[in-house]
Each structure stands twice: as structure tokens, then as C-alpha cells.
């Protein structure tokens, strides 16, 4: 499903160049649920940005679903993102002035699809939060907001969910309920990749990849 071959990412800041990823190779099978761990600045977000087609490697190859996406144009990457990928972020990234339902509908508006209300309502139901459809983000708890964000990630039927510290702002009990939800989605066949700082969150995943200084240092299977 996901294959990185000798991927490096160098941030070119003119005078100085910063290494984000240094010759990383790894793959993730369809239907796997994996985690990426590492200290701050080790390259986790850089890796997620590349896996999520939000950025391109400086060198190396990224095969997503068999297609080489390393050299696609911005428009082509946007299409791949819309069709195949769902994103979940630590800070939820919901628009503050529109309600939960409208937030979930957004990707459907971008991709010009019909039946937006019904589909967004179903997605909210699927993550157990239909009763909050008409609430603004400020009127919801962190866990509720993350459920809305997961509903939004699911709306285009993605093959892969990429979650960068999805429980980073949540208390322990809520973190576990969000991980249970991601586990359920994985059981339905969605490939899940999450970044986390916490070992007990990583234990929900079948495999953990440890990164440091832009390199993979270790891999653990459960
Ligand atoms: N947009 C950017 N421009 C310049 N340097 C960056 C950028 N994003 C990340 N970096 C650098 O790349 C390295 C890896 O960062 P990052 O992937 O954000 O790590 P993590 O998510 O593990 O904290 C760090 O040295 C960071 O400063
Ligand atoms: Mg990060």
C-alpha cells in the first residue's frame, strides 16, 4: 500500500539546509495499522507530510498503491490526497465558525460531490457523535472534536488514514476511546498510520517504527 524507497527530505533554507529525513525505506501493507515514534525533531511530521502527499521527497521514491507519487505536480498530489487519504491532526483543524456537520462536509464541497448533508450525517453517526452535528467546535470537548475530525477524514472513503499525534491533546480515557475508534476503522480495512509520543498508544498498532535524526533506528512488531 505504502512504500518509501531511500527517501530523503532536505529543507533548503538558503544559507542552511536542514535534513528532515535521511534515506528512509519502509513499507506498510494494505490493512496494517502502524505507529511512528521518535523524539521531537526526529522527522515524524516530515514523514507524515510525504506519506500524505502534502510534500514531496527531495530524493527517493514513494509508491502509494503501486503508483509513483514522488514527482507528481501539486494538482496531481491534491487529487491523490482527496481520493485515497484521510488526515487527522493533534489540533483537530476544524473551522471554528461552522458546525460539526459543515466541517465534515468540506471535503465533499472541494471535490464537488452531491448528497453532502446525508453523507456527512452518516459519517458523524459512524463515529458516534451524531448528536453534536449542529454544534460549533468551541461547544465540543477535545474528544468530540477529534471524532468530528475523524468523520471528516472518512468522508471520501479513504484507503489510508494518517494521524499525526491524534491523542496529543486528549486525556488518557479519551485517548483510548479515540484509539478504539481508529482500531475499528482499521478492522474495516482502512490502513492506519499514526504518529505518537506515547508507548501505550503505540500498543494499539501492529508495528512501531522508531525514528531519530531522520533515520529509522528500530522496528517493533506486536
Ligand atoms: N518546513 C520546514 N522548514 C525547515 N525545517 C523543517 C521544516 N519542517 C521540519 N523541519 C526540520 O526537520 C526536522 C524534522 O522535523 P519534524 O519532521 O517536524 O520532526 P517531528 O515531527 O518528529 O518533531 C527538524 O530538524 C525540523 O526543524
Ligand atoms: Mg511533529
β-partners of residue 36 are 195, 209
Confidence tier at 18 by pLDDT (50, 70, 90): very high
Residue 213 lies in a domain: yes
Is residue 127 in a domain?
A: yes
14 lines ligand 1 (CB under 6 A): no
123 part of a folded domain:
yes
State the chain's mean pLDDT as an integer.
Answer: 96
The H or E element spanning position 177 is: helix 172-187
pLDDT value for 206: 97
> Which pLDDT score, from 0 to 100, does residue 111 have?
81
Confidence (pLDDT) at 91: 96
For the stretch 134-190, pLDDT in tens is 999 999 999 999 999 999 999 999 999 999 999 999 999 999 999 999 999 999 999
Q: Which atom of ligand 1 is nearest to the CA of 46?
A: 17
CATH of the domain at 213: 3.40.50.300
Instruction: Return the pLDDT at 110.
Output: 82
pLDDT for the residue 103: 97
Distance (Å) of CA 4 to CA 69, 144, 161, 183, 212: 10, 34, 17, 24, 17
How many distinct structural domains can be found in the chain? Answer: 1
| Ligand 1 touching residue 41 (CB < 6 A) | yes
Cell of 54: 502534502
Residue 112 is predicted with a pLDDT of 85
Choice from 7, 20, 37 to test ligand 1 binding pocket (greatest atom count within 8 A of CB): 20
Strands 215-221, 207-212: parallel, antiparallel or unpaired by DSSP? Answer: antiparallel
Structural domain containing residue 164: 31-53+81-221
Whether the CB of 107 sits within 6 Å of ligand 1: no
Q: Per-residue pLDDT tens for 122-141?
A: 999 999 999 999 999 999 99
Q: Is residue 96 part of a domain?
A: yes
- Structural domain includes residue 94: yes
Specify if 45 maps to a domain: yes
Dist CA 64 CA 86 (whole Å): 14
- 146 in contact with ligand 1, CB cutoff 6 A: no
Is residue 141, in this structure, part of any structural domain at all? yes
Summarised one tens digit per residue, pLDDT across range 44-70 is 999 999 999 999 999 999 999 999 999
Report the separation in Å between the CA atom of 13 and the middle of ligand 1, taken as the mean of its atom positions.
Answer: 12
Ligand positioned closest to the Cα atom of 20: 1
Amino acid at each position: 500500500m505504502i512504500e518509501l524507497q531511500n527517501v530523503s527530505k532536505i529543507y533548503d533554507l538558503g544559507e542552511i539546509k536542514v535534513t528532515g529525513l535521511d534515506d528512509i525505506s519502509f513499507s506498510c501493507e494494505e490493512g496494517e495499522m502502524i505507529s511512528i515514534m521518535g523524539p521531537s525533531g526526529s522527522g515524524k511530521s516530515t514523514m507524515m507530510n510525504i506519506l500524505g502527499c502534502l510534500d514531496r521527497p527531495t530524493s527517493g521514491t514513494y509508491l502509494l498503491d503501486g503508483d509513483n507519487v514522488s514527482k507528481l505536480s501539486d494538482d496531481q498530489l491534491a487529487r491523490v490526497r482527496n481520493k485515497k487519504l484521510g488526515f487527522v491532526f493533534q489540533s483537530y483543524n476544524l473551522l471554528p465558525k461552522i458546525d460539526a456537520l459543515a466541517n465534515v462536509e468540506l471535503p465533499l464541497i472541494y471535490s464537488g460531490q452531491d448528497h453532502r448533508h446525508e453523507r456527512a450525517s452518516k459519517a458523524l453517526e459512524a463515529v458516534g457523535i451524531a448528536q453534536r452535528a449542529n454544534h460549533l467546535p468551541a461547544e465540543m470537548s477535545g474528544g468530540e472534536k477529534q471524532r468530528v475530525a475523524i468523520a471528516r477524514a472518512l468522508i471520501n472513503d479513504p484507503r489510508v488514514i494518517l494521524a499525526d499525534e491524534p491523542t496529543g491533546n486528549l486525556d488518557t480515557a479519551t485517548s483510548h476511546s479515540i484509539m478504539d475508534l481508529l482500531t475499528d476503522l482499521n478492522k474495516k480495512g482502512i490502513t492506519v498510520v499514526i504518529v505518537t509520543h506515547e508507548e501505550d498508544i503505540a500498543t494499539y498498532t501492529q508495528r512501531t517504527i522508531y525514528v531519530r535524526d531522520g533515520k529509522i533506528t528500530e522496528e517493533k512488531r506486536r
